[in-house]
Amino acid sequence: MSEFSAEARPTTGLFSSENRQIKLLRGLWSAALDLLYPPRCGVCNRIDTHLCPRCTAIIAEYGEPIERDLPENLTASYATALHEGGVRSVVLALKEDRHESLVAALGERLLFTFNQLKWPISCIVPVPLHSSRLHERGYNQSALLAGYLGKKLAYPVYTEAIIRVRDTQHQVGLSGDERRMNVQKAFQANPTLIADHAVLLIDDVFTTGATLQACAEAVLKAGAAQAFGLTVTAADV
């Protein structure tokens, strides 16, 4: 039996009354938490804002796209910045806090870089978390970024196009070879969603490219025409 639900579909257009109620409850809960525990800027730690105006301006200083050594199976792979400074701080903050200001700040960087590259894509797919890790965190930061980019560019976003068929240990601290072994055959793609598509893979950080390579391998095996990789930051290796 396939690992994929027969009802897997783009994220766009899914605004049922149940989803609206969940969104409302989440907003009320978030507001209550902000009163009890005032948010701090993800970059400078200033109280009362998730991302202060000064740091927002710094994050909005875009540079040239950063090309990375091309991992196997990817037509091209770029990042918006090196994994350092304020951008790195916001990337790390988004792993702990899904606030829309953090998503927008990084999403705009992805949008700016994509518009410079002008890749001929036809859909956007986030790098997935394993279901156990998704349950623990409550959201996939790469999916939030992919959703933001998809709305801006009017491309379908397939959050269920790739699944992790096995959990993997955290990549932090692993060598390049260990990272590749860690994610080998960890992903499976849904041909119903991505066959013949030029797929844009979205992730937050590019270190060795092992995860993007494994995802690209999965989508090509499922019949995708091409796979491109775009991340917010890239390690300076």
Q: Residue 220: what pLDDT?
A: 96
Q: Residue 177: what pLDDT?
A: 53
Span 221-233, pLDDT tens digits = 999 999 999 999 9
pTM above 0.85, yes or no: no
CA angle 221, 118, 107 (to 5 degrees): 85
Cα distance between residue 61 and residue 130, in whole Å: 33
Burial of 150 (0-12, 13-18, 19+ CB in 10 A): buried
| Helix 100-117 with 85-94: angle, nearest 10 deg | 120
Q: Is 32 left (phi over 0), alpha (psi -120 to 50) or beta?
A: alpha
pLDDT bucket at 60, cuts 50 / 70 / 90 = confident
Q: Residue 72: what pLDDT?
A: 77
Cα distance between residue 143 and residue 132, in whole Å: 16
Q: Indicate the helix (H) or strand (E) that contains 46.
A: none
Tracing tokens 């959703």 back to the chain, one arrives at 147
Residue bearing the bigger pLDDT, 228 or 53: 228
Span 121-172, pLDDT tens digits = 999 999 998 777 788 888 999 999 999 999 999 999 999 999 887 665 454 5
Cα distance between residue 144 and residue 8, in whole Å: 17
Mean pLDDT in residue range 102-116:
96
CA dihedral 190, 139, 214, 59 (to 10 degrees): 130
Mean pLDDT in residue range 75-96:
93
Which structural domains are found in the chain, ordered by start?
Answer: 65-234 (3.40.50.2020)
Percentage of residues in the chain with pLDDT exceeding 70? 77
Q: Residue 183: what pLDDT?
A: 61
Facing residues of 202 across strands? 126, 230
Q: Residue 15: what pLDDT?
A: 44
- Please say if the pLDDT value at position 212 is more than 50: yes
pLDDT bucket at 7, cuts 50 / 70 / 90 = very low
Strands 162-164 and 187-189: what pairing? Answer: antiparallel
Q: Residue 18: what pLDDT?
A: 59
Span 170-186, pLDDT tens digits = 545 544 555 556 566 67
The residues, any chain, with a CB within 8 Å of residue 198's CB and separated by 6 or more, are 119, 120, 121, 122, 123, 224, 225, 226, 227, 228
